[in-house]
Structure 1
């Protein structure tokens, strides 16, 4: 298993169920829904649903990437501190 696969597994199966992460994700979802409201008025239902799914997919990828980058940074920093 690669580092990326391991981080994805940790994120998908453990981290997203942590209470504080669930609450943060709810806040992000609420904010995104607010941002999408104006588009609901100008797009057809079909186009709005596709647009909404695309935006939520990008947000989800960004959250996971942020987690992976944070873990990598923490590991590098810990390694650096232990080797000084």
Structure 2
């Protein structure tokens, strides 16, 4: 870290996520949005990747977290378990 440089908070606030969302929807570059927020372009880019278009999934919750538990089970898990094999078969 550079000496004397102030560090941004570790997590994006809800207001920052909303600002990122508005910037993405307006067609702004990640760098322009980051500059306006005083954040790194990689921080903005990671948020867009995690939330899908900058928080448009609602309240800054990552899409991955929203879809957790909503995935359809594989067909293999729907099949009945095999019956035990016996020599009399």
TM-score (norm 2): 0.31
Of structures 1 and 2, the one scoring higher in RCO (CA 8 A, sep 6+) is 1
TM-score (norm 1): 0.32
Structure with a larger share of its residues in helix: 1
